[in-house]
Structure 1
Amino acid sequence: MITLQLQQLDVPSGQRLLIRNLDWPQFERILEELGDTRASRIAYSHGTLEIRMPSPEHEVDKELLGDLVKILLDELEIDCECFGSTTFKQAAMESGIEPDQCFYIQHQTQMRGKRRIDLSIDPPPDLAIEVDVTSKTQLEAYVALGVPELWRYEKNRLNIYTLQAGEYQLATTSPIFPDLPILELVAEVFEQSLQSGRSPALRAFRKKIRQMID
């Protein structure tokens, strides 16, 4: 059997590497070897590790979607703690994930000042965001960790998933923003960003939200 070290592996932008039959200690060692300053993202569920190298398309879309959520929270005066692409993992669940963006909203008070996450005592994020360009989000990892709301942007479309009875169900509205047509608003912002650019699209979005609130 040939043994390779991670530094020998090169994952091109927009591609992914799957490693199967990994137990939890092996997963922990790989995380340690990858380090905290890497560009890649990981997802681990029941023995299978996916290492993804984001593409420019992925990064542009996830930043736009994250900024959109921050504007919503700001204009609605909803407090939050943003934990970005923090690694969330729990040995008991055999799962680990790094969202593209994530937010503590209902649990933001509990997470103030936190610089490390321990899911044995800390809650999972209230909202996680994933942008799928070349790979599929491992929903089972999010289910195992108990993330109540997941937004997945794929093929120019946002899908909202809510955790119900241990599995994700597609929803037409966001429980965090129940009075807003999130799917339509996101589609509009992304379309406008292609036509006029990110900054004008976000400024127009902020203005529209203020008008809807008033």
Structure 2
Amino acid sequence: MLRRRSPLAVVLATAMSIGSLGATAGTDPPNSIAGNPVYDHVRHYLDWTVPFSRGLTASMVSIQPATGPDGAQTSGIASYAEGFLAEPSNSPNKVNGTLSQYFNDRRYSTSSYPFDPARRDSLGLHITADPTTQSVTVTLVALSWGGGSQSLTNLRIEDGVLVGDGASAGGQTPSALYAVSLGTMTIPG
């Protein structure tokens, strides 16, 4: 039986594959235990960072619906973020990093093209895996907006991508969907 993918899943998968070019794509661990698939997935990448000369690439997309016909926002907001994550000193259960985040509603001033790089934000991404409870916490920190943070909820793995729910940009809608793709890299030096 063929599994149909929603249009959103196709858009997210396409964006994530574009963002992870040059890195090892987000794949599930080869010997995943039957426990928590989210923990297994994240643990696989955290274990990669144990030698301090290795880190992770991270690509994230988010999408939120339009606020409605009476609101100022008549179309949804999509964002794309990318950057690198590394293990903080002596913390083998977490990785942190800063991503550059671009938005479709921030247009180039001379055209109607979205995702103006001159108007990007800095976004902190912190991923922690608790080996005792096998739980995972993904925290986003709005570094360009005073450091407010949120933890994603309802974490799950879909086609090798970590997906979760969180607050929308500017609190304009009740929630947004976030997808984070991780890849491996060797840090030069």
TM-score (normalizing by structure 2):
0.32
Larger Rg: 1
Q: Which has the higher strand share?
A: 2
Comparing both chains, which one has the higher relative contact order based on Cα–Cα distances under 8 Å and sequence gaps of 6 or more?
A: 2
Q: Which has the higher helix share?
A: 1
TM-score (normalizing by structure 1):
0.30
